[in-house]
Amino acid sequence: MSAQKINNIIFDFGGVIIDIDYWKSINAFIKLGAKDFANIYSQAGQIEVFDRLDKGLISPDDFRKELIRFFPPETTVQMIDDAWNAILIGIPEHRIRLIENIKSNYRTFLMSNTNMIHYNVYMQELKQEFGYGSLYELFEKVYLSFELGMRKPDPDFFRLIIKENDLNPAETVFIDDSKQNLPPAQNLGIQTIFLNNGMDVCDLFENGFLK
């Protein structure tokens, strides 16, 4: 981190705010009968159907129809949804409290590669566990890939946030747990923090990376 004062924080969602485990979905799909599913879907890359879902270019129903062809005939749509949602572990309360507590010191934004199927699950948790009916109640503004038709690491995704909110990139930090998403932000002058496995976003504040 440079000595430049940070006024704006762009948070990734999966792996930063909500705990996720790609292998839980991969293993769940394998149990349904998919072969070599780790080569079809992973944190580092995935086949086109997943990208199209994340960008909102296909509906959840069309996604299910395309995905189900990888599985035995007895596989149901609910089985596909259950395996797909297995990636979502849950949202720890201390991260919600962090976002609540830092809003008086920073402008906070959420930037996520996500889809409607997952969105419905974690929004239900946010409402039931924490009383939030909208992500906008937690962040100043929310940027979800399936609503915008673009996903990280597309540089235009970062440009959109900077331009719409009149942010100074040098005073902005982007926090993500996927390394491939950092260079486009860095090329625009945004500071970045890679959240390594085992790190919690709250550690950044407790250990002095951010104050």
Residues assigned a catalytic role: 12
Q: What is the number of residues in the chain?
A: 211
Q: Which residues pair with 175 in a beta bridge?
A: 11, 193
Q: Which residues pair with 176 in a beta bridge?
A: 194
Q: Contact, 193 vs 3, CB < 8 A?
A: no
Amino acid at 135: L
Amino acid at 122: Y
Task: Tell me the C-alpha to C-alpha distance, in Å, between residue 190 and each of 18, 29, 69, 97, 165.
Answer: 23, 37, 41, 25, 14
